[in-house]
Amino acid sequence: MNGKLLIWIWILTIPTFAGPKVYACSNAPVAYLYLDAPYNQVFKRYYIPVGYNLPLNGTASFDPDGGDPNLYPHYIKKFYFNFGDGSSYYETLTDHNDGLFEGGTTHTYNAPTLCTPTLTVTDNDAGNDSRERHPPDKSDPCSCSLAVVKVNLNMDGVPDDYREENPGGYVPANDDDDNDNGIPDKDEVGQVNGEDNLVAISLSILPPNLNSGEGEVELKITGQLRVWKYPDRRELIIPSNDPCHSSDCERWPPNQLPPTLYVEGITPVLPQTEWMDLSYVVNQTGHLHTDLVTVTVIGVWLSRDGGVLDDWPKTDTLLRSPKYIFGKTDPIYVQVNSLNRTPLQETFLDYVKVTSESGGIQYLNMYYVWQHWFNNWVFPGELLFLATDNQEGDGDNIKVVDEEVLKFWLEIQPGSGSYRSCKTVMVDRGEVGVEWQSNYGTYDTYPTLNYSDECAEGFYNNLGTANLVWFKNFDNGDLDSKESHWDSGGDSSYVDSVDFAFWCGHGTTEFETPRALRFFVNLVGGEKQPPDKLLWSEIDWGDKDLDWVVLNTCRFLDGTDDQLKQMVSDSRGVHLICGYVTDMTVYDAAGWYFADWLEWGMSIKDTWHNQCWLYQPMGNTSRVFGATECMSDSIGADGPIQTSRNPTGSSSYTHDDYTKQ
């Protein structure tokens, strides 16, 4: 797929349904009304969406005194349903408009309604005594008792009220790779180490004395969901492989009901609403008590200019490393699929939260939409840019220092403040830093090196002006250029905090050993001092962020591969080091053109040899030392740069030379 990187997230929404209510008085009829509708705990009313065909069931109502055999088994003479919207329905043995005298009916609401539907039952006591009960009317002088059976299914972050149905809950599509093995987690068989995308659900029955083992509890789900016993995908509960019952449900005795399970979203073809239903059937009465939660599995995509955004997976021998380096103007495209809002749903803004390892946090407003480049779908989306510390919060920027993992989170329900991880990707900011030595003070052996500053700063200022716009980290010269910025003791704040470092100054003569870089010198106690020098053995490059180094100096790379490999960090090695094995000459424009040729798309190795061909005298030899798999590295690209996987100290290193003839 060309263009943006997309992440899918799917989520479940579950409404809370009032359980059955049983009202009993001595020698009085008992009214039992079951409503298949969500109950709003705030307004103490049922919430009925427009067009919803509400089932009302009073068949469990009965007269304990018995009565007319024609009214068996409930002995109720009349059922009267008040729908709460100004309309009603009644039925008797001889008068039942819906065709059956069964104690139940349905009603379609023409407008969204907050109401309390009621049922009045009238018995036939000896043919002349009628009594009525309106649940939950407790004003009758009879001695009444109220028993409420509550079946509760909750998602993390979704309150137990009407919002369980509208908008319900969201479950991320589990298509990331938390264990770094190259397989989407949803396609794994069983446990995934590091799994963090599953959403917890809680299951319970009230009152507690019902958990005696009587009856059966069933959890049922629809297609794009899985239910696991543990959050790392151990012990699949649903779909079930039990041949004794349907694969989309699981059943327990009430006293064995697990208090917590974990729901996984599977990437759907198109956005759709799923549901989870927890039901309890009491053996003694056959009564059904249930709680339903609707769920939307939502897909979240990440992309970049040119295609999908991903990273190199971690293996036993290779560290995880970013595949792409982003410049200042390169966005990460973040998209989510339709959230399936209904016209009745309250207006809200949906947020995807992004966090970085260096403490960055940003909330992306998914209200805005932009055109999907591939097939004209329109999804909510936003652009995310990598930023420095002081830029975070200025627009949609996220703090990233060096190579970092970005984690994307989806809110389980708008306004809940509860988030689940939905996507993880490692990224890198394109950072450049240069240092140069022009004035070597009073030490006669190393005279002033003209054009050193122009060469280094030409590279610094030109890099990224055509394609990738690099983050400029440091530009230090003369007194501000220090040996400690390049050795293993202090490089993490300077040379190893950038991706591309450039140094220009004196190196060593043909007869000097060991090879070294020479830094600023001055008088100490009236005596001329030799310059600070940096040796191979003092270098440990690449353990933090450094990928490529240019050493525009004499003879520093004049050594064997084993000698030069002293400069490579064991844990994460530098990709390439460019320099010379002979003397060289500094030209003011060489750095500027080197950066320019890199942006044309030439490999770093070929570009370095090309500037040797253009600027150096006959007989001078340029060298590129680096990891074998990185010899073709290039930084010329429109948009983010795709790089080689980061090498390690155990990787194979070699060199490539060019001598101007």
408 and 545 share a domain? no
In the predicted model, what is the mean pLDDT of residues 104-117? 83
**pLDDT confidence band for 332 (50 / 70 / 90):** very high
**Contact in structure between 407 and 353 (CB atoms under 8 Å):** no
pLDDT at 135 over 60: no
pLDDT tops 80 at residue 355: yes
Span 194-210, mean pLDDT?
80
Lowest-confidence pick of 369-383, 406-420, 488-502, 558-572: 369-383
Answer for the pair 598, 641: CB distance below 8 angstroms, yes or no.
Answer: no
The C-alpha atoms of residue 381 and residue 243 are separated, in whole angstroms, by: 44
282 vs 325: which has the higher pLDDT: 325
For the chain, give the number of residues: 661
Smallest CA-to-CA distance from 420 within 171, 106, 123 is with 171
Most confident range (mean pLDDT) of 52-61, 260-269, 341-350, 450-459 is: 450-459
- Tell me: do 653 and 552 sit in the same domain: yes
Residue with tokens 């060199």: 655
Question: Mean pLDDT across the stretch 242-250?
Answer: 64
Query: What is the pTM for the complete model shown?
Result: 0.73
Work out how many domains the chain is built from and give that number. 3
pLDDT, residue 637, reads 74
Give yes or no for a contact between 441 and 456, defined as CB atoms under 8 angstroms apart.
Answer: no
Name 490's Cβ contacts closer than 8 Å, sequence gap at least 6. Answer: 482, 484
Note whether 444 and 421 are same-domain residues.
Answer: no
Quick one: 558 and 410 in the same domain? Answer: no
Per-residue pLDDT at 376? 44
Query: Span 562-566, mean pLDDT?
Result: 95
Q: Which residue did the predictor score with more confidence, 404 or 314?
A: 404
Torsion sign, CA atoms 229, 233, 239, 241: negative
Higher-confidence residue of 389 and 554: namely: 554
Distance between CA atoms of residues 610 and 613, nearest Å: 5
Residue 530: what pLDDT?
Answer: 63
Q: How many helices (H) and strands (E) does the chain have?
A: 4, 47
Query: Is residue 161 located within the same domain as residue 69?
Result: no
Task: For residue 424, give the nearest of 170, 191, 158, 192 by alpha carbon.
Answer: 192
136: tokens are: 């939950």
> What is the per-residue pLDDT for 67?
67
Please give the helix or strand (H or E) that residue 424 lies within, else none: strand 419-429
Q: How far apart are CA 530 and CA 637, in angstroms?
A: 43
Is the pLDDT at 134 greater than 50, yes or no?
no
Tokens standing for residue 451: 């054009």
State whether 140 and 160 are in the same domain.
no
What CATH number should be reported for the domain holding residue 68?
2.60.40.10
Which residue type occupies 31? Answer: A
For residue 321, pLDDT over 80 is answered with yes
Choose between 116 and 197: higher pLDDT: 197
Mean pLDDT for the stretch of residues 520-538: 69
Q: For the beta carbon of residue 256, count every other beta carbon within 10 angstroms.
A: 10
Q: Which residue has the higher pLDDT, 496 or 274?
A: 496
Res 356 pLDDT > 60:
yes
Q: Residues 77-100: what's their mean pLDDT?
A: 83
Kindly tell me if the per-residue pLDDT of 493 is higher than 70: yes
Asked if the model's pLDDT at residue 2 lies above 70, the reply is: no
| pLDDT at 573 > cutoff 60 | yes
What pLDDT is stored for residue 149 in this prediction?
53
Tell whether 468 and 579 lie within a shared domain: yes
Domain end, chosen from 125, 147, 169, is at 147
Same domain assignment for residues 122 and 203: no
**256 has a pLDDT exceeding 60:** yes
Question: Of the residues 102, 119, 147, which one is the last residue of a structural domain?
Answer: 147
Element housing 550 (H / E): strand 548-552
The phi and psi torsions of 58 (rounded to 5 degrees) equal -120, 20
| 139 vs 612, more confident | 612
Of the residues 119, 147, 175, the one at which a domain ends? 147
CB neighbour list of residue 377: distance below 8 Å, 6 or more residues apart: none
Q: Which band of pLDDT confidence, cut at 50, 70 and 90, is reported for residue 575?
A: very high
Same domain, 444 and 313: no
Which range is least confidently modeled, 283-287, 319-323, 638-642? 283-287
Same domain, 7 and 52: no
CA 99 centroid distance within chain: 54
- My answer on whether 424 and 441 are in the same domain is no
Same-domain check for residues 117 and 262: no
pLDDT given at position 3: 28
pLDDT at residue 366 is higher than 50: yes
Mean pLDDT of 497-507: 93
Number of Cβ within 10 Å of residue 169's Cβ equals: 31
Rounded CA separation 119/55 (Å): 13
Residue 592: give the domain boundaries: 431-659
Q: What is the token pair recorded at 235?
A: 């012990």
